[in-house]
Amino acid sequence: MAKSKSSKIGRDAKTGQFIPVSEAKKRPSTTVVETIKKGKS
């Protein structure tokens, strides 16, 4: 099985703070779930 090249993170739309994805899914009107790509570093 291949390793994941991206991950999901939740973000509060008002403050910009990172939050758990489970919390973001509970409050879809005020949060965003973003996909962050992992680069070669």
Say how far apart CA 8 and CA 31 lie, in whole Å: 13
**What integer pLDDT is reported at residue 23 of this predicted model?**
95
Facing residues of 31 across strands? 12
**What integer pLDDT is reported at residue 41 of this predicted model?**
61
Three-class DSSP category at 37: strand
* CA dihedral over 6, 11, 16, 18, signed as positive or negative: negative
Domain residue spans of the chain: 8-36
Positions in the chain whose pLDDT score sits under 50 = none
**What integer pLDDT is reported at residue 28 of this predicted model?**
93
